[in-house]
Amino acid sequence: MVVMICFFCKAQEQPIAIVPLLQQGVHTFIKVKINNSDKSYVFLFDTRAGSSVASLSLADETKLIKSSEEVVLETAGGVSTVPISHDNMLHLEGLDINNINFYIDDISHITFQGEKLDGVIGYELLKDYVTLLNYEKNQLEFYPSNTKAFDTYNSVPFTLVEDLPTVSLSFTTTSGKTFAGNFYFDSGAGFSLSVNSSFAEKHNLLNEFDKKTKIPVMDASMSNSFENYMATLNQLTLLNYSFNDLPISVSMAKSGASSSEKIDGILGIDIIKRFNVVLDYKKTSLILFPNSHYSNPFNFNLTGLSLKQNKNEITVNYVTENSPASIAGFQKNDIIIGIDGMTCENTSDARKILNDSNKTFTVEIKRRDKKETLSLKPKRYY
């Protein structure tokens, strides 16, 4: 049994700033202002982002000053060389953060409410503060580094690998075999657990699953593609907390962060959001408070559809082989017009509607300017 701790009920010092967390599907975003701009920009909030990234369009719009140097940016599937802008200021609600360095890169494949994302931030936002990631209230709370607000709670140490927090965990496959490793603690990763290709190959991990399915992956730089396998775990154990029947992604990347031997993989938001999390980079410690999301079902893809959004259009990015969507006849670049006669405003709405294995859906699509109707019955297929 997991006891939910009401730490908000205890008297404690107030945060110096509270920033709203914006949820879209499995990702978390924040709004910030850059330098002297009056406009707010949307950034992906990612605890594994050791480097802050600005989109090409944001760099142009805010006239970021680019250094004469170019730097190497490691992505999931490889590396890319990008320009950098030094010493920028980030304005949050009630808090200004100086000396932000932006790597300027193409992140146009990531969207928020149909619009292209403006940037990615993590470490530079968190490193000088004690922060509370409150996924119940959808807010990020900042406390000074010498705060006493959480001293009465039991914290556990985390390890920094290249300035990024990592935690130890174990997982059990459907073959009954248990593996242990060290994983990035990554609020920007839209899954439960991903295992690096180096770890997978060392342990012949793909042989330990009853079922698995292959999916294509494009990394954050849009310059490297590779393949992952999706499968199901019997159990995952993090500290004193255990979760049963959840998805795992196994990377087949040949280069980049997802092939690194420095770390075994990534713990993602579908685990992290089940806690309110205190992160203290100075003490390299964290506290996990189970919240009301703790026992929610895990996010399995029941259709085999990967969807992307461009303005008001929801488009099929790819279709997984031998999935319900493949059987139904979906193809890449199909435009979804409606589901059971209803229109969907964004990909999050479409995913929520289709995540029901008890129904068969009538999906109206447009393919090469011709309308068609497909019948889709979601179900677990890996």
Q: Supply angle C-alpha 254, 260, 265, rounded to 5.
A: 105
Element (DSSP H or E) covering residue 31? strand 27-34
Q: Would you state the structure tokens that stand for residue 51, as one six-digit string? A: 């480097």
Amino acid of residue 223: S
Q: How far apart are CA 101 and CA 196, in angstroms?
A: 28
Give pLDDT, residue 221. Answer: 44
Collapsing DSSP states into helix, strand and coil, what is residue 174? Answer: coil
* pLDDT value, residue 312: 80
Give residue-wise pLDDT tens across range 298-330: 989 999 999 988 778 899 999 998 999 999 999
Rg of the chain over CA atoms, in angstroms?
A: 21
Residue 27 in contact with residue 89, Cβ under 8 Å?
no
Coil, helix or strand for 199? Answer: helix
- Judge whether 310 and 335 are in contact, CB under 8 Å: no
Low-confidence stretches of the chain (pLDDT < 50) are 3, 8-11, 220-223
* Residue labelled with tokens 């202002």: 33
- Give me the pLDDT at residue 2, please: 55
Residue pair 82/105 in contact (Cβ under 8 Å)? The answer is: yes
The pLDDT assigned to 113 comes to: 64
| Residue 119 in tokens | 């940037």
pLDDT at site 77 = 53
Contact assessment for residue 143 and residue 149, using Cβ atoms and an 8 Å cutoff:
yes
Rounded Cα–Cα distance for residues 178 and 376 (Å) = 35
pLDDT value of residue 9: 47
Q: Rounded CA gap, 220 and 222, in Å?
A: 5
Q: Which of 365, 354, 345 is nearest to 113 (CA)?
A: 345
Q: Walk me through the domains of the chain, giving residue ranges and CATH numbers.
A: 7-143 (2.40.70.10), 156-274 (2.40.70.10), 305-376 (2.30.42.10)
CB–CB of 163/50 below 8 Å?
yes
- What pLDDT, on a 0 to 100 scale, did the predictor assign at position 112? 66
Quote helix, strand, coil % in the chain, to nearest 5: 10, 45, 45
How many whole angstroms separate alpha carbon 19 and alpha carbon 157?
25
